[in-house]
């Protein structure tokens, strides 16, 4: 075997085959936070939805904010990975699995919030579109029905898109394992032997999934935007909500991916595989999405200002210079100013700069979802519909614990699956170098990072 491939196997399989006490400490801490959130949710079910801050007329709060936020974060993986696969970007190879995992886990977390938001979550099956003996058929005019279809389709496709390229790596772990672990990975490897026929089928399946998953990913957040744009609420009646939500989802997804990559690089010592060029390239994408996000926000505010509808202007000034102004301008700094400065200036486009900008974007995008929901619902068209929303501890605990849940799922995944695709790295090493038009041979380092 190629010595570099032997070292690659050793480096990328080390987290699976070796376990330190730090792993158990991290799992215990994150698990305790998630358990606290579960107890908070049980208390909400026992004492009633009144212990939350959700009151008339603001019936959406932290829960729906977190729902939209995590569905947006899910665009980090499948959409970005699929596009990079379709354009055959060579530098994507160490990045794709890190991104695809975020998609699956973020969708799982986001899909829980419509159930958490119910006063009687044990009756959640009433929302599912299925024929029943009660003859209550789904209302296909409701956007919630389309959320159900879209999210489940996206989750199914994302799981398949994640699992397919893991099969060859399961075979590698199988050959390095013994006992029960070997039996488990033998089952997961699905009889993989690396024959030309198997490789051909795998590559064909990945190409088909990459093409199919892109429109599904775009449709998901477009449908989520319909939950807002179809409601008669000030500043929700806008035609740009579809592309606005999709752009924001990709924006927050890239930021989440950069943070995850930086942590994995430091904790798992993957400096030889996650290079600064990977962060720089994703940083450029972050910059593009920051500019696009800035355009959509400016467009939305400009149209509202010139329309000068009293109800919409009440929401407008509430966010620009009244009680929600600190949150609004924090959002602008995190989503626009930080990425523009740190990613727009090449000297600042380092790993540290990417992480700082990404943290600002994650915070800013959560605030953006909050500012879309709460101020508009608190200032509807008639003065007697005005109200305030004050989140309660149970909402802070549940919404905050979702980040711990994401980290916990990621840690457990890294323990059982190589977080960087081994076979894709090896396939990149075997690609023949390209010859530039000048007629001279292109350096290998440039070929690997192209």
Residue 133 has what pLDDT? Answer: 63
Structure token digits, residue 63: 């829960």
Query: How far apart are the C-alpha atoms of 447 and 450, rounded to whole Å?
Result: 5
Residue range 243-248: mean pLDDT, rounded = 90
Better pLDDT: 226 or 25: 25
Residue 428 has what pLDDT? Answer: 62
Residue 438 has what pLDDT? Answer: 41
Residue 122 has what pLDDT? Answer: 85
The answer to whether residue 337 scores a pLDDT higher than 90 is: yes
Residue 367 has what pLDDT? Answer: 94
The answer to whether residue 144 scores a pLDDT higher than 90 is: no
The answer to whether residue 90 scores a pLDDT higher than 90 is: no
Query: How far apart are the C-alpha atoms of 62 and 393, rounded to whole Å?
Result: 11
Q: Give me the sign of the Cα torsion angle 240, 297, 396, 61.
A: negative
Residue range 321-339: mean pLDDT, rounded = 93
* pLDDT one-digit tens code per residue, 217-234: 888 888 888 888 888 888
Give me the domains of the chain, ranges plus CATH numbers: 11-428+440-448 (1.20.1630.10)
The answer to whether residue 390 scores a pLDDT higher than 80 is: yes
Residue 1 has what pLDDT? Answer: 57
- Please give the mean pLDDT across all residues of the chain: 85
Statement: the pTM of the whole predicted model exceeds 0.85: yes
The answer to whether residue 448 scores a pLDDT higher than 60 is: no
Confidence of residue 59 (pLDDT cuts 50, 70, 90): confident
Residue 220 has what pLDDT? Answer: 86
Query: How far apart are the C-alpha atoms of 388 and 53, rounded to whole Å?
Result: 9
Residue 63 has what pLDDT? Answer: 94
* pLDDT one-digit tens code per residue, 254-282: 999 999 999 999 998 888 888 899 899 89
Residue 140 has what pLDDT? Answer: 67
Query: How far apart are the C-alpha atoms of 264 and 274, rounded to whole Å?
Result: 9
Per residue, the 3-state secondary structure of the chain, as one string, reads CCHHHHHHHHHHHHHHHCCCHHHHHHHHHHHHHHHHHHHHHHHHHHHCHHHCCCECCECCCHHHHHHHHHHHHHHHCHHHHHHHHHCCCHHHCCCHHHHHHHHHHHHHHHHHHHHHCCCCHHHHHHHCCCCCCCCCCCCCCCHHHHHHHHHHHHHHHHHHHHHHHHHHHHHHHHHHCCHHHHHHHHHHHCCCCCCHHHHHHHHHHHHHHHHHHHHHHHHHHHHHHHHHHCCCCCCCCCCCHHHHHHHHHHHHHHHHHHHHHHHHHHHCCCCCCCCHHHHHHHHHHHHHHHHHHHHHHHHHHHHHHHHCCHHHHHHHHHHHCCCCHHHHHHHHHHHHHHHHHHHHCHHHCCHHHHHHHHHHHHHHHHHHHHHHHHHHHHCCCCHHHCCCCCCCHHHHHHHHHHHHHHHHHHHHHHHHCCCCCHHHHHHHHCCCCCCCCCCCCCCHHHHHCC
Residue 446 has what pLDDT? Answer: 39
Residue 134 has what pLDDT? Answer: 59
Residue 9 has what pLDDT? Answer: 77
Query: How far apart are the C-alpha atoms of 360 and 242, rounded to whole Å?
Result: 23
Residue 258 has what pLDDT? Answer: 92
Structure token digits, residue 130: 């299925």
Better pLDDT: 332 or 423: 332
The answer to whether residue 187 scores a pLDDT higher than 50 is: yes
Confidence of residue 441 (pLDDT cuts 50, 70, 90): very low
The answer to whether residue 362 scores a pLDDT higher than 90 is: yes
The answer to whether residue 129 scores a pLDDT higher than 70 is: no
Residue 132 has what pLDDT? Answer: 62
């Amino acid at each position: 075997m190629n010595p570099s491939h032997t070292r690659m196997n050793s480096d990328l399989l080390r987290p699976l085959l070796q376990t330190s006490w730090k792993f158990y400490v991290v799992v215990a801490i994150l698990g305790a936070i998630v358990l606290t959130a579960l107890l908070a949710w049980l208390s909400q079910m026992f004492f009633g939805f009144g212990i939350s801050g959700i009151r008339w007329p603001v019936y959406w709060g932290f829960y729906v904010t977190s729902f939209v936020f995590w569905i947006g974060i899910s665009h980090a993986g499948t959409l970005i990975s699929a596009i990079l696969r379709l354009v055959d970007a060579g530098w994507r190879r160490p990045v794709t699995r890190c991104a695809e995992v975020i998609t699956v886990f973020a969708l799982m977390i986001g899909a829980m919030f419509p159930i958490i938001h119910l006063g009687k979550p044990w009756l959640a099956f009433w929302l599912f579109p299925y024929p029943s003996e009660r003859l209550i058929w789904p209302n296909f005019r409701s956007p919630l029905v389309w959320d159900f279809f879209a999210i489940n389709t996206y989750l199914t496709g994302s799981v398949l898109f994640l699992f397919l390229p893991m099969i060859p790596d399961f075979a590698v772990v199988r050959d390095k394992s013994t006992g029960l672990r070997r039996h488990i990975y033998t089952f997961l490897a699905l009889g993989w032997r690396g024959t030309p026929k198997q490789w051909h089928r795998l590559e064909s399946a990945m190409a088909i999934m990459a093409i199919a998953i892109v429109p599904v990913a775009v449709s998901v957040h477009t449908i989520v935007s319909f939950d807002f744009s179809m409601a008669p609420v000030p500043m929700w009646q806008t035609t740009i909500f579809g592309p606005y939500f999709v752009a924001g989802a990709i924006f927050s997804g890239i930021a989440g991916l950069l943070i995850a990559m930086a942590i994995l690089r430091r904790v798992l010592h993957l400096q030889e595989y996650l290079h600064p060029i990977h962060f720089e390239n994703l940083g450029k994408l972050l910059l593009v999405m920051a500019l696009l996000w800035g355009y959509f926000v400016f467009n939305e505010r400009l149209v509202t200002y010139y329309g000068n509808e009293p109800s919409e202007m009440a929401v407008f000034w509430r966010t620009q210079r009244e009680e929600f102004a600190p949150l609004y301008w924090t959002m602008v700094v995190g989503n626009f100013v930080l990425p523009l400065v740190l990613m727009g200036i090449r000297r600042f486009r380092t790993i540290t700069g990417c992480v700082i900008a990404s943290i600002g974007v994650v915070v800013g995008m959560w605030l953006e979802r909050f500012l879309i929901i709460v101020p508009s619902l608190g200032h509807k068209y008639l003065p007697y519909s005005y109200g305030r929303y004050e989140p309660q501890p149970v909402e802070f605990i549940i919404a905050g614990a979702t980040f711990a849940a994401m980290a916990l799922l990621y840690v457990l995944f890294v323990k059982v699956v190589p977080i960087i695709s081994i076979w894709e790295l090896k396939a990149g090493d075997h690609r023949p170098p390209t010859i530039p038009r000048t007629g001279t041979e292109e350096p290998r380092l440039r070929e690997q990072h192209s």
